[in-house]
Amino acid sequence: MNPKKNPLASVIIVNFNGLNHIKKCLLSIKKNNYKNFEVVVVDNGSQDGSREFLIKKMRADKRVRVIFLRENMGPAFARNVAVSNSIGTYLSFLDNDTKVDRFWLSKSITFMENNGNIGACQCQLLLMDDHKKIDYVGDYLTRTGFLMQPFKMGDRAKSIPDETKEIFAAKSAGMIVKRKAFETAGGFDSDYFIYVEETDLCWRIWLTGYEIVYFPKSVVYHKFGTSYRLFPEFQSFLARFHGSKNYISTLIKNLSAQELLLILPLHLILWMIVAFQQILTLKIKSGMYILKGIFWVPFNLPSLLAKRKVIQSKRVIDDKELFEHILQPINIKYFFDKFFSKSTVKGFKAINEK
């Protein structure tokens, strides 16, 4: 395979106690028709036999490299570790509970090679248990500071236009990023641990002059909600604390000063409403996790402002122009359903996940 026509792709996977899933994921990658790839797996301190399996896999397949972390450092940190141990021109991020279509890499890399302004693309994420329904096809920003999906999980795939289009943010369960764009944007923010870290990265990719698109010809199948089913109480804390903390941090870092003054106050009010709604409905722990996330921000403001200074220094597009590409009108019913129709961790995951 000619490396000039078929550049090396580094497939990045983070694994945490996902033995049954990572086996199937790696098998599907091996069967894909794009052969110039390497796989870098970072294991986040798994204790379910994943370590032993991955060691055997690495010995059996020289294209697979595994880095073992002693404890769960979160996917944002782990992905950065994986990227620093990879050499591909393209970075293909997958969750461990995914399977890939045979043409997932070949179609997306051909498309990105022919479009130099594209920094990242979102694959069409379909539900593992029903390939006729979508999991995710991209997000847009609203003036509430929250994201909005044009199509929700469970919509029929046939109802979605089969066309490439600009989106604001992609999801690491199935996104492909040019290494140059990733490095220029500064990679994932490891302080995020989990939730909204992809949105933050995508925002910075946009600010540095690249575009991000949904590319439906590249297909990945995702087993949605795996981590929640395995660790419901742990996920409850992650979704609420890191969700609120990271959303607010992302706005502070990436918005222009003018837009920050307009969007951040409403965003904070909405988080406070959700927190007190949870407390008043006797979901006290849930509400307190959100408040903890909100109040984490002022105590860490110097660090956030230092990151903001670096990000804004790399900006090549102003918010007025950027918003023409990535902003969607506020849909009150959409946010009411997200926040209040299901006051469970699944509801919060819908708010926080990309």
Three-state DSSP at 88 gives coil
Per-residue DSSP letters for 274-315?
HHHHHHHTT-HHHHHHHHHHHHHHHHTHHHHHHHHHHHHHT-
The pLDDT, as a whole number, for residue 188 is 98
User: What digits encode the pLDDT tens for the residues 150-197?
Assistant: 888 899 999 998 999 999 999 999 999 999 999 999 999 999 999 999
User: What digits encode the pLDDT tens for the residues 269-303?
Assistant: 999 999 999 999 999 999 999 999 999 999 999 99
Per-residue DSSP letters for 194-232?
SSSHHHHHHHHHHHTT-EEEEEEEEEEEE-TTHHHHH-H
Longest Cα pair distance anywhere in the chain, in angstroms?
A: 62
How many whole angstroms from its chain centre is CA 168?
12
CA angle 174, 21, 228 (to 5 degrees): 80
Domains along the sequence of the chain with CATH = 9-228 (3.90.550.10), 232-352 (no CATH)
What is d(CA 122, CA 170) in angstroms, rounded to the nearest whole number? 5
Cβ 206 vs Cβ 168: under 8 Å: yes
What's the chain's length in residues?
354
Token pair 């990719």 in the structure block, residue: 205
What is d(CA 279, CA 286) in angstroms, rounded to the nearest whole number? 7
Cβ 293 vs Cβ 242: under 8 Å: yes
Please give the single-letter amino acid code of residue 191. D
pTM over 0.85: yes
Per-residue pLDDT tens listing for the chain (354 residues): 555 679 999 999 999 999 999 999 999 999 999 999 999 999 999 999 999 999 999 999 999 999 999 999 999 999 999 999 999 999 999 999 999 999 999 999 999 999 999 999 999 999 999 999 999 999 999 999 999 998 888 999 999 989 999 999 999 999 999 999 999 999 999 999 999 999 999 999 999 999 999 999 999 999 966 554 545 555 577 789 999 999 999 999 999 999 999 999 999 999 999 999 999 999 999 999 999 999 999 999 999 999 999 999 999 999 999 999 999 987 777 766 766 655 444 444 444 544
DSSP assignment letter at 139: B
Q: Above pLDDT 90, what percent of the chain?
A: 83
Task: Report the b/e string of 84-108 with b at 16+ CB within 10 A.
Answer: eebebbbbbbbbbbbbbbeebbbbb
> Hey, which residues does 68 pair with through a beta bridge?
43
Backbone dihedral region for residue 23 (phi beyond 0: left; psi -120 to 50: alpha; all else: beta): alpha
